Protein backbone atom coordinates (compact mmCIF):
# COMPACT_ATOMS: atom_id res chain seq x y z
CA UNK A 1 0.00 0.00 0.00
CA UNK A 2 1.26 3.35 -1.04
CA UNK A 3 0.94 5.64 1.98
CA UNK A 4 1.82 8.99 0.44
CA UNK A 5 -0.37 8.49 -2.63
CA UNK A 6 -3.58 7.05 -1.12
CA UNK A 7 -5.74 4.76 -3.22
CA UNK A 8 -8.96 6.28 -4.48
CA UNK A 9 -12.08 5.32 -2.54
CA UNK A 10 -14.61 3.01 -4.20
CA UNK A 11 -16.73 5.99 -5.20
CA UNK A 12 -13.74 7.77 -6.70
CA UNK A 13 -12.54 4.68 -8.57
CA UNK A 14 -15.48 4.74 -10.99
CA UNK A 15 -14.76 8.33 -11.75
CA UNK A 16 -11.02 7.59 -12.06
CA UNK A 17 -11.43 5.85 -15.42
CA UNK A 18 -13.42 8.79 -16.75
CA UNK A 19 -10.90 11.30 -15.47
CA UNK A 20 -8.04 9.30 -16.95
CA UNK A 21 -9.74 9.38 -20.34
CA UNK A 22 -10.51 13.11 -20.12
CA UNK A 23 -6.96 13.95 -19.04
CA UNK A 24 -5.39 11.90 -21.81
CA UNK A 25 -7.69 13.53 -24.37
CA UNK A 26 -6.93 17.06 -23.15
CA UNK A 27 -3.19 16.53 -23.73
CA UNK A 28 -3.89 15.47 -27.32
CA UNK A 29 -6.20 18.45 -27.78
CA UNK A 30 -3.49 20.82 -26.54
CA UNK A 31 -1.08 19.39 -29.11
CA UNK A 32 -3.63 19.35 -31.95
CA UNK A 33 -2.56 22.69 -33.51
CA UNK A 34 1.11 21.62 -33.68
CA UNK A 35 3.10 20.36 -36.66
CA UNK A 36 5.71 17.66 -36.07
CA UNK A 37 8.35 20.41 -36.33
CA UNK A 38 6.58 22.59 -33.75
CA UNK A 39 6.32 19.60 -31.44
CA UNK A 40 10.02 18.73 -31.73
CA UNK A 41 11.49 22.09 -30.65
CA UNK A 42 13.51 22.29 -27.44
CA UNK A 43 14.43 25.94 -26.79
CA UNK A 44 16.69 25.18 -23.81
CA UNK A 45 17.53 22.24 -21.58
CA UNK A 46 14.76 22.75 -19.00
CA UNK A 47 12.00 23.12 -21.62
CA UNK A 48 11.03 19.92 -23.41
CA UNK A 49 9.49 19.39 -26.86
CA UNK A 50 5.69 18.93 -26.93
CA UNK A 51 6.21 15.53 -28.53
CA UNK A 52 8.39 14.48 -25.63
CA UNK A 53 5.67 15.55 -23.15
CA UNK A 54 3.11 13.49 -25.09
CA UNK A 55 5.35 10.45 -24.99
CA UNK A 56 6.79 10.82 -21.48
CA UNK A 57 3.36 11.06 -19.83
CA UNK A 58 2.46 7.87 -21.70
CA UNK A 59 5.68 6.16 -20.62
CA UNK A 60 4.79 7.01 -17.00
CA UNK A 61 1.58 4.93 -17.25
CA UNK A 62 3.32 2.22 -19.23
CA UNK A 63 6.18 1.80 -16.75
CA UNK A 64 4.47 2.30 -13.40
CA UNK A 65 1.00 0.87 -14.09
CA UNK A 66 1.05 -1.51 -17.07
CA UNK A 67 4.53 -3.03 -16.71
CA UNK A 68 4.40 -3.29 -12.92
CA UNK A 69 0.73 -4.23 -12.40
CA UNK A 70 -0.63 -5.92 -15.53
CA UNK A 71 0.73 -9.46 -15.98
CA UNK A 72 1.89 -10.22 -19.49
CA UNK A 73 1.95 -6.59 -20.67
CA UNK A 74 4.46 -6.08 -23.47
CA UNK A 75 5.87 -2.58 -24.03
CA UNK A 76 4.80 -0.76 -27.19
CA UNK A 77 8.46 -0.23 -28.12
CA UNK A 78 11.32 -1.31 -25.82
CA UNK A 79 13.46 1.62 -27.04
CA UNK A 80 11.02 4.23 -25.73
CA UNK A 81 12.03 3.49 -22.15
CA UNK A 82 15.41 5.14 -22.77
CA UNK A 83 13.93 8.07 -24.70
CA UNK A 84 11.06 8.97 -22.42
CA UNK A 85 12.22 8.29 -18.87
CA UNK A 86 12.63 11.80 -17.45
CA UNK A 87 14.68 11.61 -14.27
CA UNK A 88 13.99 8.27 -12.56
CA UNK A 89 17.36 6.79 -11.57
CA UNK A 90 15.51 3.66 -10.43
CA UNK A 91 14.42 3.14 -14.05
CA UNK A 92 17.95 2.96 -15.44
CA UNK A 93 19.74 4.81 -18.22
CA UNK A 94 17.99 7.58 -20.13
CA UNK A 95 18.51 10.18 -22.82
CA UNK A 96 20.20 13.30 -21.51
CA UNK A 97 17.65 16.04 -20.86
CA UNK A 98 19.47 18.53 -23.09
CA UNK A 99 19.08 16.18 -26.10
CA UNK A 100 15.29 15.82 -26.15
CA UNK A 101 15.08 18.19 -29.12
CA UNK A 102 17.10 15.69 -31.17
CA UNK A 103 14.30 13.09 -31.21
CA UNK A 104 12.95 13.68 -34.72
CA UNK A 105 11.93 10.00 -34.72
CA UNK A 106 9.52 8.63 -33.58
CA UNK A 107 7.32 11.02 -35.52
CA UNK A 108 4.46 12.91 -33.92
CA UNK A 109 2.03 10.44 -35.47
CA UNK A 110 3.99 7.48 -34.06
CA UNK A 111 3.85 9.11 -30.62
CA UNK A 112 0.09 9.50 -31.04
CA UNK A 113 -0.06 5.76 -31.87
CA UNK A 114 1.97 5.05 -28.73
CA UNK A 115 -0.54 7.04 -26.70
CA UNK A 116 -3.48 5.22 -28.27
CA UNK A 117 -1.95 1.78 -27.60
CA UNK A 118 -1.23 2.57 -23.95
CA UNK A 119 -4.70 4.10 -23.49
CA UNK A 120 -6.24 0.94 -24.90
CA UNK A 121 -4.16 -1.27 -22.60
CA UNK A 122 -5.12 0.87 -19.59
CA UNK A 123 -8.78 0.66 -20.57
CA UNK A 124 -8.62 -3.16 -20.87
CA UNK A 125 -6.81 -3.50 -17.54
CA UNK A 126 -8.81 -0.95 -15.60
CA UNK A 127 -11.49 -3.20 -14.11
CA UNK A 128 -8.91 -5.54 -12.56
CA UNK A 129 -6.40 -2.98 -11.29
CA UNK A 130 -5.57 -3.41 -7.59
CA UNK A 131 -5.91 -0.36 -5.30
CA UNK A 132 -2.12 0.19 -5.41
CA UNK A 133 -2.24 0.38 -9.19
CA UNK A 134 -5.27 2.67 -9.07
CA UNK A 135 -3.29 5.01 -6.81
CA UNK A 136 -0.61 5.09 -9.52
CA UNK A 137 -3.24 5.89 -12.15
CA UNK A 138 -4.30 8.82 -9.95
CA UNK A 139 -0.67 9.90 -9.71
CA UNK A 140 -0.33 9.48 -13.49
CA UNK A 141 -3.35 11.76 -14.08
CA UNK A 142 -1.90 14.46 -11.84
CA UNK A 143 1.51 13.98 -13.43
CA UNK A 144 0.02 14.41 -16.89
CA UNK A 145 -1.79 17.58 -15.78
CA UNK A 146 1.54 19.02 -14.69
CA UNK A 147 2.95 18.20 -18.12
CA UNK A 148 -0.06 19.83 -19.83
CA UNK A 149 1.01 23.11 -18.28
CA UNK A 150 4.68 22.49 -19.13
CA UNK A 151 3.73 21.66 -22.72
CA UNK A 152 2.24 25.15 -23.06
CA UNK A 153 5.00 27.05 -21.25
CA UNK A 154 7.72 25.15 -23.14
CA UNK A 155 5.95 25.82 -26.42
CA UNK A 156 5.73 29.54 -25.59
CA UNK A 157 9.50 29.53 -24.99
CA UNK A 158 10.05 27.74 -28.31
CA UNK A 159 7.75 30.01 -30.36
CA UNK A 160 9.33 33.08 -28.72
CA UNK A 161 12.57 32.14 -30.52
CA UNK A 162 10.93 32.42 -33.94
CA UNK A 163 11.23 35.87 -35.58
CA UNK A 164 7.91 35.18 -37.34
CA UNK A 165 6.27 35.20 -33.89
CA UNK A 166 3.80 32.37 -34.48
CA UNK A 167 0.61 32.20 -32.42
CA UNK A 168 -0.47 28.99 -30.72
CA UNK A 169 -4.02 30.07 -29.94
CA UNK A 170 -6.20 32.46 -27.99
CA UNK A 171 -5.51 33.18 -24.35
CA UNK A 172 -8.04 33.26 -21.55
CA UNK A 173 -8.62 36.79 -20.28
CA UNK A 174 -6.86 37.61 -17.00
CA UNK A 175 -8.99 37.28 -13.89
CA UNK A 176 -7.29 39.91 -11.75
CA UNK A 177 -7.31 43.62 -12.55
CA UNK A 178 -5.63 46.65 -11.07
CA UNK A 179 -9.07 48.25 -11.02
CA UNK A 180 -9.07 46.44 -7.70
CA UNK A 181 -7.09 48.79 -5.43
CA UNK A 182 -4.13 47.24 -3.68
CA UNK A 183 -5.29 46.41 -0.15
CA UNK A 184 -3.60 44.41 2.57
CA UNK A 185 -5.48 41.91 4.71
CA UNK A 186 -4.47 40.59 8.12
CA UNK A 187 -3.53 36.93 7.98
CA UNK A 188 -4.07 34.66 10.96
CA UNK A 189 -1.24 34.45 13.43
CA UNK A 190 -0.29 31.90 16.05
CA UNK A 191 -0.45 28.18 15.43
CA UNK A 192 -2.12 27.20 12.13
CA UNK A 193 -2.17 23.95 10.19
CA UNK A 194 -0.83 23.60 6.67
CA UNK A 195 -0.35 20.71 4.27
CA UNK A 196 -2.75 18.24 2.66
CA UNK A 197 -5.08 16.02 4.66
CA UNK A 198 -5.34 12.31 4.02
CA UNK A 199 -8.67 12.02 2.26
CA UNK A 200 -7.94 13.22 -1.28
CA UNK A 201 -5.07 13.06 -3.73
CA UNK A 202 -2.07 15.26 -3.01
CA UNK A 203 1.60 14.90 -3.89
CA UNK A 204 3.82 13.43 -1.18
CA UNK A 205 5.58 16.80 -0.72
CA UNK A 206 2.28 18.35 0.50
CA UNK A 207 2.17 15.93 3.44
CA UNK A 208 1.95 15.44 6.30
CA UNK A 209 -0.44 18.17 7.42
CA UNK A 210 1.24 19.80 10.38
CA UNK A 211 1.23 22.78 12.72
CA UNK A 212 3.07 25.95 11.85
CA UNK A 213 3.56 29.16 13.84
CA UNK A 214 2.81 32.47 12.09
CA UNK A 215 3.81 35.90 13.36
CA UNK A 216 1.38 38.80 12.71
CA UNK A 217 1.42 39.70 9.02
CA UNK A 218 -0.66 41.07 6.15
CA UNK A 219 -1.14 39.79 2.61
CA UNK A 220 -2.14 41.77 -0.48
CA UNK A 221 -5.61 41.15 -1.83
CA UNK A 222 -4.36 40.83 -5.41
CA UNK A 223 -1.24 40.17 -7.43
CA UNK A 224 1.30 42.72 -8.63
CA UNK A 225 0.35 44.08 -12.06
CA UNK A 226 2.24 44.87 -15.26
CA UNK A 227 1.59 48.58 -14.60
CA UNK A 228 3.24 48.37 -11.20
CA UNK A 229 6.15 46.51 -12.75
CA UNK A 230 6.55 49.30 -15.29
CA UNK A 231 6.91 51.76 -12.37
CA UNK A 232 9.59 49.54 -10.86
CA UNK A 233 11.51 49.61 -14.13
CA UNK A 234 11.08 53.39 -14.53
CA UNK A 235 12.37 53.88 -10.99
CA UNK A 236 15.61 52.07 -11.88
CA UNK A 237 14.64 48.81 -10.19
CA UNK A 238 16.92 46.75 -12.41
CA UNK A 239 19.82 49.16 -11.84
CA UNK A 240 19.71 49.41 -8.03
CA UNK A 241 21.89 46.76 -6.38
CA UNK A 242 20.53 47.62 -2.92
CA UNK A 243 17.18 46.09 -3.93
CA UNK A 244 18.64 42.74 -4.91
CA UNK A 245 19.91 39.61 -3.24
CA UNK A 246 23.59 39.15 -4.01
CA UNK A 247 22.88 36.11 -6.17
CA UNK A 248 20.03 37.97 -7.87
CA UNK A 249 22.23 40.97 -8.67
CA UNK A 250 24.86 38.66 -10.17
CA UNK A 251 22.08 37.12 -12.27
CA UNK A 252 20.80 40.52 -13.46
CA UNK A 253 24.29 41.62 -14.48
CA UNK A 254 25.30 38.40 -16.19
CA UNK A 255 21.96 37.85 -17.97
CA UNK A 256 21.33 41.49 -18.92
CA UNK A 257 17.68 41.11 -17.82
CA UNK A 258 15.83 44.44 -17.57
CA UNK A 259 12.16 43.44 -17.89
CA UNK A 260 9.93 40.37 -17.57
CA UNK A 261 10.68 37.60 -20.05
CA UNK A 262 8.80 38.11 -23.35
CA UNK A 263 8.37 41.88 -22.90
CA UNK A 264 9.44 43.72 -26.03
CA UNK A 265 10.67 47.32 -26.26
CA UNK A 266 7.47 48.73 -27.79
CA UNK A 267 5.08 47.99 -24.88
CA UNK A 268 4.17 44.62 -26.34
CA UNK A 269 4.88 41.12 -25.09
CA UNK A 270 5.13 37.77 -26.82
CA UNK A 271 2.35 35.44 -25.72
CA UNK A 272 0.79 32.14 -26.79
CA UNK A 273 -1.53 34.31 -28.87
CA UNK A 274 1.43 35.96 -30.63
CA UNK A 275 2.70 39.48 -29.94
CA UNK A 276 0.17 41.55 -28.00
CA UNK A 277 0.03 45.00 -26.40
CA UNK A 278 0.83 44.63 -22.71
CA UNK A 279 -2.29 44.84 -20.55
CA UNK A 280 -1.07 47.11 -17.76
CA UNK A 281 -3.90 46.07 -15.47
CA UNK A 282 -3.16 42.34 -15.71
CA UNK A 283 -0.89 40.48 -13.26
CA UNK A 284 2.78 40.53 -14.20
CA UNK A 285 4.03 37.15 -15.42
CA UNK A 286 7.36 35.55 -16.32
CA UNK A 287 9.47 37.05 -13.56
CA UNK A 288 12.09 35.12 -11.59
CA UNK A 289 12.26 34.74 -7.83
CA UNK A 290 15.15 37.21 -7.87
CA UNK A 291 13.01 39.81 -9.63
CA UNK A 292 9.98 39.16 -7.43
CA UNK A 293 12.09 39.54 -4.30
CA UNK A 294 13.67 42.81 -5.56
CA UNK A 295 10.28 44.21 -6.54
CA UNK A 296 8.86 43.44 -3.10
CA UNK A 297 11.77 45.23 -1.44
CA UNK A 298 11.28 48.24 -3.74
CA UNK A 299 7.58 48.26 -2.78
CA UNK A 300 8.43 48.31 0.94
CA UNK A 301 7.07 44.81 1.37
CA UNK A 302 8.24 41.21 1.06
CA UNK A 303 7.10 37.97 -0.51
CA UNK A 304 4.72 35.85 1.61
CA UNK A 305 5.91 32.57 3.07
CA UNK A 306 4.18 29.46 1.77
CA UNK A 307 2.45 28.98 5.14
CA UNK A 308 1.11 32.56 5.12
CA UNK A 309 -0.15 32.11 1.56
CA UNK A 310 -1.74 28.73 2.19
CA UNK A 311 -3.46 29.74 5.40
CA UNK A 312 -4.75 32.92 3.75
CA UNK A 313 -6.18 30.94 0.82
CA UNK A 314 -7.68 28.27 3.05
CA UNK A 315 -9.21 30.80 5.46
CA UNK A 316 -10.74 32.71 2.54
CA UNK A 317 -12.47 29.54 1.32
CA UNK A 318 -12.23 26.32 3.38
CA UNK A 319 -13.30 24.30 0.33
CA UNK A 320 -9.99 25.12 -1.32
CA UNK A 321 -8.28 22.71 1.05
CA UNK A 322 -8.31 19.91 -1.47
CA UNK A 323 -10.08 20.57 -4.73
CA UNK A 324 -10.53 17.64 -7.03
CA UNK A 325 -12.99 18.04 -9.85
CA UNK A 326 -13.29 16.87 -13.42
CA UNK A 327 -10.42 17.27 -15.80
CA UNK A 328 -11.48 20.09 -18.05
CA UNK A 329 -10.20 22.66 -20.47
CA UNK A 330 -7.27 24.82 -19.50
CA UNK A 331 -9.21 27.75 -18.09
CA UNK A 332 -10.97 30.18 -18.06
CA UNK A 333 -11.08 30.17 -14.30
CA UNK A 334 -13.47 31.81 -11.90
CA UNK A 335 -12.61 35.47 -11.39
CA UNK A 336 -10.26 36.84 -8.77
CA UNK A 337 -9.20 34.78 -5.79
CA UNK A 338 -5.94 33.04 -5.16
CA UNK A 339 -5.85 30.69 -8.16
CA UNK A 340 -5.27 31.50 -11.81
CA UNK A 341 -3.32 33.86 -14.08
CA UNK A 342 0.09 33.29 -12.51
CA UNK A 343 1.85 31.12 -9.99
CA UNK A 344 2.97 33.22 -7.04
CA UNK A 345 6.53 33.09 -5.75
CA UNK A 346 6.87 32.61 -2.00
CA UNK A 347 10.01 33.22 0.02
CA UNK A 348 9.92 29.59 1.25
CA UNK A 349 12.52 27.10 0.14
CA UNK A 350 11.09 23.85 -1.22
CA UNK A 351 11.98 21.40 1.49
CA UNK A 352 10.36 18.54 3.35
CA UNK A 353 7.59 18.94 5.89
CA UNK A 354 8.15 17.39 9.36
CA UNK A 355 7.49 13.67 9.00
CA UNK A 356 7.83 13.65 5.18
CA UNK A 357 8.59 10.23 3.76
CA UNK A 358 8.87 9.61 0.03
CA UNK A 359 7.16 6.44 -1.16
CA UNK A 360 9.14 3.32 -1.96
CA UNK A 361 10.23 2.54 -5.48
CA UNK A 362 10.98 4.76 -8.45
CA UNK A 363 7.92 7.01 -7.95
CA UNK A 364 9.51 8.02 -4.63
CA UNK A 365 11.81 10.13 -6.83
CA UNK A 366 8.83 12.28 -7.87
CA UNK A 367 9.44 15.24 -5.52
CA UNK A 368 11.77 14.48 -2.63
CA UNK A 369 15.03 14.51 -4.52
CA UNK A 370 14.38 18.04 -5.80
CA UNK A 371 14.31 19.59 -2.34
CA UNK A 372 17.41 21.69 -2.81
CA UNK A 373 17.90 25.14 -4.33
CA UNK A 374 14.26 25.73 -5.31
CA UNK A 375 11.49 28.03 -4.07
CA UNK A 376 7.82 27.20 -3.54
CA UNK A 377 5.17 28.78 -5.77
CA UNK A 378 1.52 28.77 -4.72
CA UNK A 379 -1.78 29.13 -6.57
CA UNK A 380 -2.14 28.24 -10.23
CA UNK A 381 -1.69 29.89 -13.62
CA UNK A 382 -3.69 30.47 -16.78
CA UNK A 383 -2.12 27.25 -18.11
CA UNK A 384 -2.95 25.05 -15.12
CA UNK A 385 -5.66 22.49 -15.94
CA UNK A 386 -8.93 22.80 -14.09
CA UNK A 387 -9.14 20.53 -11.08
CA UNK A 388 -5.41 20.57 -10.49
CA UNK A 389 -5.37 23.37 -7.90
CA UNK A 390 -5.57 23.28 -4.14
CA UNK A 391 -4.35 25.44 -1.26
CA UNK A 392 -1.74 22.87 -0.19
CA UNK A 393 -0.20 22.61 -3.69
CA UNK A 394 3.55 23.24 -3.78
CA UNK A 395 4.93 24.06 -7.20
CA UNK A 396 8.68 24.70 -7.22
CA UNK A 397 11.31 26.17 -9.50
CA UNK A 398 14.88 27.44 -9.10
CA UNK A 399 15.16 31.19 -8.39
CA UNK A 400 16.33 32.17 -11.89
CA UNK A 401 13.49 30.35 -13.73
CA UNK A 402 10.94 32.57 -15.44
CA UNK A 403 9.56 30.77 -18.46
CA UNK A 404 6.60 29.57 -16.38
CA UNK A 405 3.66 31.91 -15.74
CA UNK A 406 5.22 33.22 -12.53
CA UNK A 407 4.23 36.40 -10.72
CA UNK A 408 3.84 37.58 -7.16
CA UNK A 409 1.67 38.96 -4.40
CA UNK A 410 3.07 41.21 -1.68
CA UNK A 411 3.05 40.61 2.07
CA UNK A 412 4.39 42.53 5.05
CA UNK A 413 4.96 42.13 8.75
CA UNK A 414 2.46 43.88 11.00
| Residues contributing to the site for Fe ion (CB under 5 A) | 86
From CA 344, how far away is CA 362, in angstroms rounded? 30
- Of the pair 84, 244, the CB lying nearest Fe ion is at 84
Q: Taking the mean position of all CA atoms in its chain, how far away is CA 193?
A: 23
Q: Are 204 and 366 in contact (CB under 8 A)?
A: yes
DSSP 302-369: BPPPHHHHHHHHHHH-GGGGG-------S-PPPSSSSSSSSEEEEEEE--PPTT--PPSSGGGGSSGG
262 φ/ψ sector (left φ>0, alpha ψ -120 to 50, else beta): left
- Of the pair 244, 403, the CB lying nearest Fe ion is at 403
- Of the pair 93, 242, the CB lying nearest Fe ion is at 93
Q: How far is the CB of 125 from Fe ion (least distance, A)?
A: 21
- Of the pair 146, 281, the CB lying nearest Fe ion is at 146
Q: Are 387 and 135 in contact (CB under 8 A)?
A: no
Name the 3-class secondary structure at 70: coil
Cα–Cα separations (whole angstroms), residue 272 to 186, 251, 276? 36, 26, 10
- Of the pair 86, 305, the CB lying nearest Fe ion is at 86
From CA 326, how far away is CA 17, in angstroms rounded? 11
Report the DSSP beta bridge partners of residue 189. Answer: none
- Of the pair 144, 308, the CB lying nearest Fe ion is at 144
Q: How far is the CB of 140 from Fe ion (least distance, A)?
A: 10
Q: Which residue is nearest to Fe ion (CB)?
A: 86
Q: How far is the CB of 81 from Fe ion (least distance, A)?
A: 14
Q: How far is the CB of 40 from Fe ion (least distance, A)?
A: 18
Q: How far is the CB of 10 from Fe ion (least distance, A)?
A: 28
DSSP 15: H
Q: How far is the CB of 91 from Fe ion (least distance, A)?
A: 12
Amino acid sequence: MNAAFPSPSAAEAGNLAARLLATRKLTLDLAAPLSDADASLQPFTEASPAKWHLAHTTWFFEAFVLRDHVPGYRPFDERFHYLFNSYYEGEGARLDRSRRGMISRPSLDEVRNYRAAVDEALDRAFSVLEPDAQALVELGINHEQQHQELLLTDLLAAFAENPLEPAYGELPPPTCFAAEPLTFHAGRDGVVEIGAGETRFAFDSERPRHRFFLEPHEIAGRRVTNGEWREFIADGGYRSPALWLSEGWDWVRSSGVDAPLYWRADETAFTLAGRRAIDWTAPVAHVSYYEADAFARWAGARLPTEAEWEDFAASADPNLGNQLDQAGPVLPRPGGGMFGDVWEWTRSAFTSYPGFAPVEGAVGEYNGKFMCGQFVLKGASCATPRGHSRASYRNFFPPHARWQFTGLRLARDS
